[in-house]
Amino acid sequence: MPLSFPPWNDEHEMLRKTVRDFTESRLTPHRYEWDKARSFPVREVFKEMGELGLLGIRFPEEYGGLGLDWWYTTAYVEELCKSLNGGVIMSTLVQTDMATPVVAEIGTPEQCEEFLVPVIKGEYIAALGITEPGAGSDVANITTTATKDGSDYIINGAKTYITNASVADFIVLAVRTGDEGHFGISLVLFPTNTPGFSVGRKLDKLGTHSIDSSEIHFDNCRIPQRYLLGQENAAFIHIMKNFQGERLVAALMGTAGMEIQLADCIEYGKTRQAFGRPIGKFQVWKHKFAEHLTSTAAAKLLTYRAVDALNNLDDATLYVSQAKLHVADLAQKVAYDCLQFHGGYGYVEEYDICRAYRDVRLLPIGGGTSEVMKEIIAKWSGL
């Protein structure tokens, strides 16, 4: 039965078609090759996406964005997931939905002109630098410092797991400008051509192979104070708000991934034979997939509720956290069974489920772990 919620209309469909056509022609055919090469032509891809208007869906029109809402982002993420390559999806979503929304939200007009406009055009690549070797879930504990010196900040410290780090033109960087704890943290716009900045080890990861997540180092890096985003020592709340969008797109990636994997299994089950019949006809699998299709539909509605909340509420934290938690954990079970259904072929790189099984493991970790989601949900529920 078609849903009246979400409010899909012809304009959403137009955006979907643009993303789908681009994804299916430019990204999907290279999924295996780019994963194996452990890189993809990110600058070229972003330039093309910029020309198609896909890199600024919710950003203000005055900076070249489309000024649309989270339903359009939903359509964009769902179609982008048809690239079947977690690294490409992650890298692109860092550019559009993880690193840059906070710039649009609290950046000055000058900062938006200098950083957001080229991001939307696909001329600049963005990264988000929050996590440190000693502070991941515990963001309030970061130790990378920005110390005032005349009209500049001098930055010292290190970050790790930073997606897009080796290709980024700038990093939206969390730094300590004040006392210990939540209220000593600021955000700065950090150009990666600043002397003293270096990219360290590219981490040898379980999945998302097409893009690097790297260690980065800051050794007496001097940037002008005009690159401070928002108020000094007041960034924690903006980082947490920005996380809501990051977690929502993670949930959207998870639901889209499950739908794709299940549809793939339904087709595979029609052709692969065992004991004289298509394996999809074994009742054990029919029932398993019936359960997964039902759970995925429920997870999608939970995620769409979070989309609706982000569009309409001042604070969507509870809804976003519930969607991220539920989808990330369900996606592990679905990917496990979809791989199992492929038998030995599921363990072979040419089959998409092999890559998806690796990539999906990031969902309960990145952007806030499942345990952290439970902490947030408990707090919001008065526990």
Ligand X SMILES: Cc1cc2nc3c(=O)[nH]c(=O)nc-3n(C[C@H](O)[C@H](O)[C@H](O)COP(=O)(O)OP(=O)(O)OC[C@H]3O[C@@H](n4cnc5c(N)ncnc54)[C@H](O)[C@@H]3O)c2cc1C
Give the interface with ligand X as residue ranges (CB under 6 A). 94, 128-131, 136-137, 161-163, 205, 208, 213, 362, 365-369, 371-372, 375
Q: Which two tokens stand for residue 248?
A: 């929502």
CB of 184 to ligand X, least distance (A): 18
CB of 373 to ligand X, least distance (A): 9
Nearest by Cα to 292 from 325, 268, 253, 327:
327
Could you confirm whether 246 is annotated as catalytic? yes
Which CB sits closer to ligand X, 241 or 305? 241
CB atoms within 10 A of CB 62: 11
Q: Which two tokens stand for residue 82?
A: 């048809």
Check if the beta carbon of residue 325 is closer than 8 Å to that of residue 377.
yes
Which CB sits closer to ligand X, 309 or 372? 372
Which CB sits closer to ligand X, 337 or 359? 359
Q: What type of residue sits at position 271?
A: T
CB of 100 to ligand X, least distance (A): 12
- Which 3 state secondary structure label does DSSP give 172? strand
CB of 137 to ligand X, least distance (A): 3
Please identify which of the residues 24, 246, 267, 350 carries the catalytic annotation: 246
Which CB sits closer to ligand X, 75 or 88? 88
CB atoms within 10 A of CB 377: 17
Helices 236-271 and 317-341, packing angle to 10 deg: 30
Strand partners for 157: 218
CB of 185 to ligand X, least distance (A): 13
Which CB sits closer to ligand X, 265 or 331? 331
Nearest by Cα to 331 from 320, 321, 323, 319:
323
- As a 3-state breakdown, the chain gives helix, strand, coil percent values, each rounded to 5, of 55, 15, 25
Which CB sits closer to ligand X, 194 or 369? 369
CB of 317 to ligand X, least distance (A): 16
Distance between first and last Cα of the chain: 37
Q: Write the CA distances from 110 to 56, 120, 222, 228, integer angstroms.
A: 17, 15, 19, 12
151: CB partners within 8 A, 6+ apart: 224, 225
Give the single-character DSSP code of 45: H
Q: What type of residue sits at position 182?
A: H
Task: Report, as residue numbers or ranges, the catalytic residues.
Answer: 246
